[in-house]
């Protein structure tokens, strides 16, 4: 079975059109940890050049994503793994697309519509 694992899923920021070279990074926020785009320009940081990308994901949503991927992978008799490459879905207002699924690793493009519209 797939273990719920922090390194099973690589999140890719989906706010840069066809450019999939921005892996989401775990950050310490004011209240809790969350994932944010490396292009996010914190008001506390030194780098205020360029546009800030506000795409982000809470750990609660990340857990939901892991659960969903696990369920879809082992749907059916639970013996056969389903390859999820190319699967698109929306959970809690966040759009996801599985770019690559190999063994128990996933590369997932994500776009939090609420976060980026702010
Ligand atoms: Zn981004």
Mean pLDDT, rounded, for 9-18: 95
Rounded to the nearest whole angstrom, what is the distance from the C-alpha of residue 111 to the centroid of ligand 1?
Answer: 9
User: How far apart are alpha carbons 12 and 37 in whole angstroms?
Assistant: 8
Distance 80 CA to ligand 1 centre (A): 35
Give the whole-number percent of the chain exceeding pLDDT 70.
86
Residue 15 burial (CB count, 10 A): 19
Q: Identify whether the C-beta of residue 82 lies closer than 8 Å to the C-beta of residue 20.
A: no
Cα of 110 vs centre of ligand 1, distance in Å, is: 9
Residue 38 alpha carbon to ligand 1 centre in Å: 7
Q: How remote is the CA of residue 82 from the centroid of ligand 1, in Å?
A: 29
- 50-95 pLDDT, tens digit per residue, is 678 999 999 999 999 999 999 999 887 777 889 999 999 999 999 9
């Amino acid at each position: 079975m797939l273990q719920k694992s922090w390194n099973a899923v690589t999140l890719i920021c989906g706010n840069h059109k066809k450019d999939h070279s921005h892996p989401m990074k775990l950050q310490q926020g004011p209240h809790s940890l969350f994932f944010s785009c490396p292009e996010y320009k914190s008001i506390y940081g030194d780098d205020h050049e360029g546009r800030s990308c506000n795409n982000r994901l809470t750990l609660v949503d990340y857990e939901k994503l892991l659960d969903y991927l696990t369920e879809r992978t082992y749907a059916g008799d639970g013996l056969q793994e389903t390859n999820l490459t190319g699967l698109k879905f929306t959970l809690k207002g966040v759009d996801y697309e599985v770019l690559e699924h190999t063994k128990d690793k996933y590369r997932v493009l994500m776009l939090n519509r609420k976060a980026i519209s702010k």
